[in-house]
Amino acid sequence: MRKPFLALCGAAAFAVTGSGCVSMAEYDDLKARYSAQAELNQRLKEDLGRENARLKLEFEKQMALTDVEKVKGESAMKELEAAKRIADEIRAKMGMLVAPEGTNEGDSDISFGENWIRFSGEVLFDSGKTELKPQGKALLLEVAKELKSKGFYVQVDGHTDSDPIKRSLGKFPTGSNFELGAERALTVLLLMQKEGGIDAGKLHMTSWGEHQPAENGNKRKNRRVEIRFTANDPYVTAADGK
């Protein structure tokens, strides 16, 4: 009877093992791992929720910025259209300007662009000089009056021909046409400020010397002063614009 009983016990033990029964230690370990995984899943779920909220907020910010840029673009377009209308008005008024007698030799001594007025050098200055002629000064003051009334920013550009400076070498020791162009531009700028009443903060000047000819080979047309005007300061920096 003893041998059959042992065999039966062995069979029962085999059946328990084969059916997947585990010890308490194994069960506790599985339970602990399950809990850890559940906590990890919860943290991931919370992280995902926060990330979704962040992305939603970022999207809303981008949409708001897009709307702001759209409004800015529309505003800039309106300002540009207004500036063009004002420029048209100024050109219409300034189109009546007549160059002093004796200065016109076939080319226009006063011409107009979309936002600029060009005076030939002969209208404003004697050859190689930087002192304004009386007639040229009177014309510039008419222009200054209109530009001031519109609150425009103004840039004065001095241009020369390519001939080297000779007779005025004492005044321009380097012999550079940049000096001549700069002196003439400065003379016009100071007149527009001091007698024309334009705010100094709205005035700029530059000299191109002979390096931006109006027409290649036409020295007379290249000796000129150009007055450019804009509704907004063309030299405002990105930092200033913020």
Query: For the whole model, what pTM was predicted?
Result: 0.60
Sign of CA dihedral 87, 93, 95, 98: negative
Cβ neighbors of 192 (< 8 A, separation 6 or more) are 140, 143, 144, 147, 154, 156, 198, 203
Average pLDDT rounded to a whole number, residues 35-49: 86
Please tell me which residue, 166 or 232, carries the higher pLDDT value.
Answer: 232
Average pLDDT rounded to a whole number, residues 79-83: 66
Region of 160 on the Ramachandran plot (φ > 0 left; ψ -120 to 50 alpha; else beta) = beta
Q: What three-state secondary structure class fits 18?
A: helix
pLDDT at residue 76 tops 90:
no
pLDDT at residue 8 tops 50:
no
pLDDT at residue 56 tops 70:
yes
Q: Which of 17-21, 26-30, 182-186 has the lowest mean pLDDT?
A: 17-21
159 pLDDT band, cuts 50/70/90, is very high
Average pLDDT rounded to a whole number, residues 18-38: 78
Average pLDDT rounded to a whole number, residues 16-23: 57
Contact predicate 202/155, CB 8 Å:
no
pLDDT of residue 197: 96
Q: What is the identity of the amino acid at 68?
A: V
pLDDT at residue 63 tops 70:
yes
Sequence ranges of the domains in the chain: 95-240
9 pLDDT band, cuts 50/70/90, is very low
Architecture of domain 95-240: 2-Layer Sandwich (3.30)
Q: Average pLDDT of the chain?
A: 79
